[in-house]
Structure 1
Amino acid sequence: MNTKKILVSVSLLGALLLSGCASVPLATQQESAQAKSFPVPEQNMSGLYIYRDSFVGKALKKDIYVDGKCIGETADKVFFYTQVSGGQNHKISTESEFSPNDLTIFTEPGRNYFVRQYVKMGVFVGGAGLSESAESEGKRVVSKPSVRLAKTGHCDN
């Protein structure tokens, strides 16, 4: 096989891997609807929504951790909801190609926060990053009928 054919084969394989769809265990429709009502967090707590809606890397699942605790695996069009202590910093981490990517946010009690996980092209496999979203943008994405609440507690690493 010549070099050109090898490059075309590798490119096609990469495109297939990045365009397929991964699936993760989902919560019930009722649990998803409850989380999408954006309840006020419990006293002295903050709500934390972590969602993924990136076009790239649909075949990839990526672990999410909050303060070192496994929240779960993400796939495209899923979100997690958890409550964290208000009035302090929290570290949200996701696996990436070579090392974890972290985002630290300070949460005020009684408020909901939104973090977007996105998948980006990598050398061997797609990596993942995190960014804090404005509340209006986070609510807009999470509210979509196609975005579902994922079950918590399962990470591969």
Structure 2
Amino acid sequence: MFKKTMLCAAAVTLTLLTGCASVPMESAEKDQALKSFTAPASDKAGIYIFRDSSLGPALKKTVKIDGETIGETATHTYFYRLVNPGRHVLATESEFGDNTLELVTQGGHNYYVRQSIKLGVFVGGAKLTLVPEAEGKQGVRDSKLAQ
């Protein structure tokens, strides 16, 4: 019985990880403008949250900043949000609850956070990682702006 349950769970996971999910997208003009990576004003910080991996194309994962949902990601998508400088909690939907990342921002700076998909027991999970600027810019360039 346990073997059958695990095989069924594996089949469901494989199905979810190989389909294609789509999310509402912003205009190409807005996408290109944000890829100039202009520093925000000194009283704001910019956060790019991107998902540049092809793993889990059937999975859409919710992203939150300070408890407010900003949208769902699909493969090769990103979000950009301006926030007040200070402490922020970013969260992404995972298999058994949200995975979080605490980020302390300074005004006038952009921050780059990668959302990674990881295999789970029943469905794929997700995690957030702060990455260096050069790596983050490349991840955003390889992605498109989601609404």
Report the TM-score, using the length of structure 2 for normalisation: 0.91
**Which residue does the alignment assign to 2:72?**
73
Corresponding position: 1:93 with 2:91: yes
Superposed CA RMSD: 2.0
Offset from partner CA, 1:18-65 (integer Å, 9 cap, x none): 011110000000010011111111231111000012232110001101
Q: How does 1:105-144 map to 2 (within 5 A)?
A: 105-144=103-142
Shift of 1:3: 9.2
CA distance in 2, matches of 1:142, 1:93: 19
Find the aligned partners of 1:41 and 1:70 in 2 and give their Cα distance.
Answer: 22
Question: What's the offset of the Cα at 1:71?
Answer: 0.9
For the pair 1:149 / 2:133, whether they are aligned, the reply is: no
Question: Residue 15 of structure 2 corresponds to which residue in structure 1?
Answer: 16
Could you say what secondary structure the match of 1:140 adopts?
helix
SS of residue in 1 equivalent to 2:16: helix
Match of 1:102 in 2: 100
In 1, Cα distance between the equivalents of 2:80 and 2:58?
Answer: 22
Aligned length: 147
Question: Shift of the alpha carbon at 1:7?
Answer: 6.6
The whole-number CA distance in structure 1 between the counterparts of 2:101 and 2:71 is 16
CA distance in 1, matches of 2:11, 2:103: 39
Q: Note the C-alpha offset of 1:16.
A: 2.4
TM-score (norm 1): 0.85
Distance 2:106 2:2 in 1: 56
Deviating above 3 A after TM superposition, structure 1's stretches of 4 or more consecutive aligned residues are 2-13
Mapping 1:22-37, distance limit 5 Å: 22-37=21-36
Determine if contact 2:62/2:73 at 8 Å carries over to the other structure. Answer: yes
SS at 2:129 equivalent = strand
Identity of aligned residues (%): 45
